Structure 1
């Protein structure tokens, strides 16, 4: 950081005895303007870094929260994709098991038919026993 009085102003004081007062005023104002410009330019990077730091400090917590949410969503999406792939594989395996399902249906129909026959035979046996009891008594 530059400070006043600068080197140029000290030289002006040395040579001020020899110059016109009007020129001296113009030179001093020019030197002050140059000093202000140099000082502002010297401080500009510090101000820029301060603004960057201020922005990062304000926006970083929100960015971290959004990143955490994004990671959670990614994990959920990965799980859902796995579930969908597993379901698709299950559906494909069901399509391949058509023959087995038909066999099961056939066996169920046969077992129902046999069950009805057994039930019918038992009914006949019961009726026959009842008739025998009536005639034998």
Structure 2
């Protein structure tokens, strides 16, 4: 009576062992298949994200260049205030000299008429 019972136990053990070996043998290939499936599904989206990020980086670099250029222009404008003050002073001097010349011409042209002898007849 022990023989059929022993055979049944041996069969159960060998079946479990065979099942375990089958799982162990196939598990890495199933895992690799799942990885491949995941990569195949997510790769296009990742590639699109990469493309978007590169585009945003280019736009950011352009904006940074524009801001740096504007800051440089503003700095140059503040540095040029000395020159504008000098130009303002020179213009005021020129206007004053022109007023003096006009006043001098006005006196010189008015003086000959006032002191000119009357016409004899």
TM-score of the pair, normalised by structure 1: 0.63
User: Which residue is 2:18 aligned to?
Assistant: 35
* Cα deviation, residue 96, structure 1: 1.0
Aligned equivalent of 1:69, options 52, 58, 80: 52
Distance 2:95 2:15 in 1: 111
**How many residues are aligned here?**
100
* Cα deviation, residue 57, structure 1: 0.7
Distance 1:43 1:112 in 2: 99
* Cα deviation, residue 86, structure 1: 1.0
Q: Does 1:50 align with 2:33?
A: yes
Provide the aligned C-alpha RMSD in A.
2.3
TM-score of the pair, normalised by structure 2: 0.71
Listed as ranges, the gaps of 5+ residues in structure 2 are 106-121
User: Which residue is 1:98 aligned to?
Assistant: 81
Higher relative contact order (CA 8 A, sep 6+): 1
Superposed structure 1 runs of 4+ greater than 2 Å apart: 103-115
Structure 2 counterpart SS, 1:20: helix
User: Which residue is 2:108 aligned to?
Assistant: none
* Cα deviation, residue 105, structure 1: 3.3
Distance 1:70 1:111 in 2: 59
User: Which residue is 1:130 aligned to?
Assistant: none
Distance 1:30 1:40 in 2: 15
* Cα deviation, residue 84, structure 1: 1.0
